[in-house]
A and B are shown apart, each in its own frame.
Chain A
Amino acid sequence: MVGLSVGEKHFIRGGIAQDLRADGRRRLQFRAISVETGVIPQANGSARVRLGATEVIASVKAELGKPSILHPDKGKVSIFVDCSPTAAPMFEGRGSEEFSAELSVALQRCLLGGKSGAGAAIDLSSLIVVDGKVCWDLYIDGLVVSSDGNLLDALAAAIKVALSDTGIPKVNVSLSAATDEEPEVDVSDEEFLQFDTSSVPVIVTLTKVGKHYIVDATSEEESQMSSAVSVSVNRHGQICGLTKRGGAGLDPSVVFDMISVAKHVGQQFISVLDSEIAAAEAAE
């Protein structure tokens, strides 16, 4: 919970109206981002992303599983988010469940596409090992370690970086004579396949405070918001998902305006993120 005095609230709102926010940023400016890969050695891929005082960790683990009967030619991906109580005392015990579920669902909506797997940011057919028998199950776990607003954008960025860090072991399958038997699978521990993460979108959340909207809001700014629209944008400027939060209603024309701004800001964010990924991989 953020406790602000009347003066502080006025200062934050006034700053946003004048395009000079409390921390010196402009309305459509992100905080400094820092990216680190390979932070969880036990995972297939992992990343830590810091956006100002917000810090999240994403990990990708791959396990061999069975494809669903409805989609025998596709692997499975699931996203779970957990908010650690270290980030805020309100996440203690079961306090984080509702919020974590909200974040998980928003990320699933933006990254995983429809139920059939069509439109997913990750090519699900690349996860298949043997059609209808063996596939990779990707478990993407997000953990919020420190929270200072804009968790959704930070989590999406962390997942994008973690996916680009992910190596899926190469698998050799020896098909037995009887087709209904379980195929023998030999998982290589030397050769890894990399993902094509170029189409994985980022999320840009536009938070409406007063008459204006801002990107990358801090907790203090979020406490003053009337509503927020999270737009996920990929490299080609396509919109992959959209979520609106907050109680107040928005004029449809504002929504369209927000989408075009988010598209523009998102592409800038992707290029910043790409250079950060390259720097993190070079450092590793």
Chain B
Amino acid sequence: MEYVNLLTGFRVDGRRPNEMRQLKGEVGVVARADGSALFEMGNTRVIAAVYGPREVQNKGQQVNSKEALVRCEYRMADFSTGDRRRKPKGDRRSTEISLVIRQTMEASILTHLMPRSQIDIFVQVLQADAGTRAACINAATLALADAGIPMRDIVTSCSAGYLCSTPLLDLNYIEDSAGGPDVTVGILAKMDKVTLLQVTKYHELLLIAASFRTPLVLSSIHTNSITTILHTMCSLVKHFSCHLYPEGHCFL
């Protein structure tokens, strides 16, 4: 199948290779959570809710009492995929994504400021159209900011792939199921550091002359434009961690 039109250079959904899908974010969507956000990347739509920092509920899970315990659960709605199916809770894919989100967010949360406490991040996928990992991380960042949890920096995430000898940014479902190599990158925006990097079919990328660098650079450039959007969003968030922690641990 032709994923990039040879004449016009446009993709199946009419985007240019380095163009993202439409982004949309909203904070405060779950009234009773401490922080929450809805994030859309094209047809992918996720909700994140943050509860905490609060007392550790299960003392057995607390590894280090000097730092906050960060937990995460990723869940897909039964109706989120094209063909409906009921999946058992906690299947391997969900567990893996939960872990990835937890590790990525843990890297940016200033856990040492909240000892003996627990922060829960719950992400719920309402619609899956590829790139749920990236969308969940962006939503989780917004929700954490909405909850006023101090962070080192904003984590932004985006995926990119390589099809028809072209590096493509922010794959949709059709492109994602084409089976080409793809990367998901999470970046600490201001510090410009990569906190998440997942590559599938790396060997194929190595074989391709353009190499792994192009999609990586592509998605890292464009996570920066997500950053701009998240920054604008976060400036709307009422609780600034700057106010809570004036000694310079500011996330904006």
Using a CB–CB cutoff of 8 Å, the interface residues on chain A facing chain B are 39-43, 46, 52-53, 55, 57, 59, 61, 63, 80, 82, 84-89, 92-94, 97, 139, 141, 143, 145-148, 219
Interface residues of B toward A: which range? Answer: 20 to 34
Q: Is the CB of A84 within 8 A of B31?
A: no
Q: Is the CB of A63 within 8 A of B84?
A: yes
Rounded to whole angstroms, the CA-CA distance of A87 and B30 in the bound complex is 7
Q: Is the CB of A89 within 8 A of B122?
A: yes
Given contacts A57-B126, A61-B84, whether A89 and B120 have CB atoms under 8 Å apart is yes
| Chain B residue, CB-CB nearest to A91 | B122
Rounded to whole angstroms, the CA-CA distance of A76 and B77 in the bound complex is 21
Rounded to whole angstroms, the CA-CA distance of A80 and B78 in the bound complex is 9
A94 CB to closest chain B CB, in angstroms?
Answer: 6
Given contacts A40-B127, A139-B84, A145-B124, whether A86 and B79 have CB atoms under 8 Å apart is no
Given contacts A88-B32, A148-B31, whether A41 and B79 have CB atoms under 8 Å apart is no
| Chain B residue, CB-CB nearest to A81 | B78
Interface residue from A41, A88, A141 paired with B77 (Cβ < 8 Å): A141
- Max count, chain A CB within 10 A of own CB: residue among B49, B81, B123: B49
Interface residue from A42, A52, A139 paired with B127 (Cβ < 8 Å): A42
Q: Is the CB of A46 within 8 A of B90?
A: no
A-B contacts, 24 listed (Cβ < 8 Å): A40-B127, A41-B43, A42-B82, A42-B127, A46-B79, A55-B29, A57-B77, A80-B86, A82-B77, A84-B77, A86-B49, A86-B122, A87-B32, A89-B51, A89-B122, A92-B120, A93-B90, A94-B90, A139-B84, A143-B78, A145-B29, A146-B29, A147-B32, A219-B32
| Chain A residue, CB-CB nearest to B125 | A84
Q: Is the CB of A85 within 8 A of B124?
A: yes
B48 sits at the interface (CB 8 A): yes
A161 CB to closest chain B CB, in angstroms?
Answer: 15
A101 CB to closest chain B CB, in angstroms?
Answer: 13
Given contacts A40-B126, A145-B124, whether A82 and B78 have CB atoms under 8 Å apart is yes
Rounded to whole angstroms, the CA-CA distance of A141 and B124 in the bound complex is 15
Rounded to whole angstroms, the CA-CA distance of A242 and B214 in the bound complex is 62
Given contacts A63-B84, A141-B84, A145-B30, whether A86 and B77 have CB atoms under 8 Å apart is no
B93 sits at the interface (CB 8 A): no
B59 sits at the interface (CB 8 A): no
B216 sits at the interface (CB 8 A): no
**A-facing mask of B23-67, CB < 8 A → 1, else 0?**
000000111110010000001000111010000010000000000
Q: Inside 8 A of A93's CB, which chain B residues have their CB? A: 73, 89-90
Rounded to whole angstroms, the CA-CA distance of A90 and B123 in the bound complex is 14
Q: Inside 8 A of B77's CB, which chain A residues have their CB? A: 57, 59, 82, 84, 141, 143
B75 sits at the interface (CB 8 A): yes
Q: Inside 8 A of A43's CB, which chain B residues have their CB? A: 79
**A-facing mask of B101-142, CB < 8 A → 1, else 0?**
000000000000000000010111011000000000000000
B141 CB to closest chain A CB, in angstroms?
Answer: 15
- Max count, chain A CB within 10 A of own CB: residue among B43, B81, B89: B89
Q: Is the CB of B32 within 8 A of A53?
A: yes
Rounded to whole angstroms, the CA-CA distance of A143 and B32 in the bound complex is 16
Q: Is the CB of B36 within 8 A of A86?
A: yes
Interface residue from B30, B51, B86, B126 paired with A146 (Cβ < 8 Å): B30
Q: Which 4 pairs from chain A and chain B are nearest by CB? A: A53-B31, A86-B49, A59-B79, A85-B122
Q: Is the CB of B86 within 8 A of A86?
A: no
Rounded to whole angstroms, the CA-CA distance of A43 and B162 in the bound complex is 30
A12 CB to closest chain B CB, in angstroms?
Answer: 17
A39 CB to closest chain B CB, in angstroms?
Answer: 8
Q: Inside 8 A of B82's CB, which chain A residues have their CB? A: 42
A-B contacts besides A86-B36, A143-B77, A143-B126, 9 pairs, CB < 8 Å = A40-B126, A40-B127, A42-B79, A42-B80, A42-B81, A43-B79, A55-B30, A85-B73, A146-B32
| Chain A residue, CB-CB nearest to B43 | A41
Q: Is the CB of A94 within 8 A of B89?
A: yes
- Max count, chain B CB within 10 A of own CB: residue among A89, A139, A147: A89
Q: Inside 8 A of A61's CB, which chain B residues have their CB? A: 79, 84
Q: Inside 8 A of A55's CB, which chain B residues have their CB? A: 29-31
| Chain B residue, CB-CB nearest to A50 | B31
Q: Inside 8 A of B32's CB, which chain A residues have their CB? A: 53, 87-88, 146-148, 219
Rounded to whole angstroms, the CA-CA distance of A57 and B45 in the bound complex is 13
B151 CB to closest chain A CB, in angstroms?
Answer: 20
Interface residue from A88, A92, A145, A148 paired with B47 (Cβ < 8 Å): A145
A195 CB to closest chain B CB, in angstroms?
Answer: 18
Q: Is the CB of A92 within 8 A of B126?
A: no
Given contacts A141-B77, A141-B78, whether A84 and B122 have CB atoms under 8 Å apart is yes
Q: Is the CB of A86 within 8 A of B31?
A: no
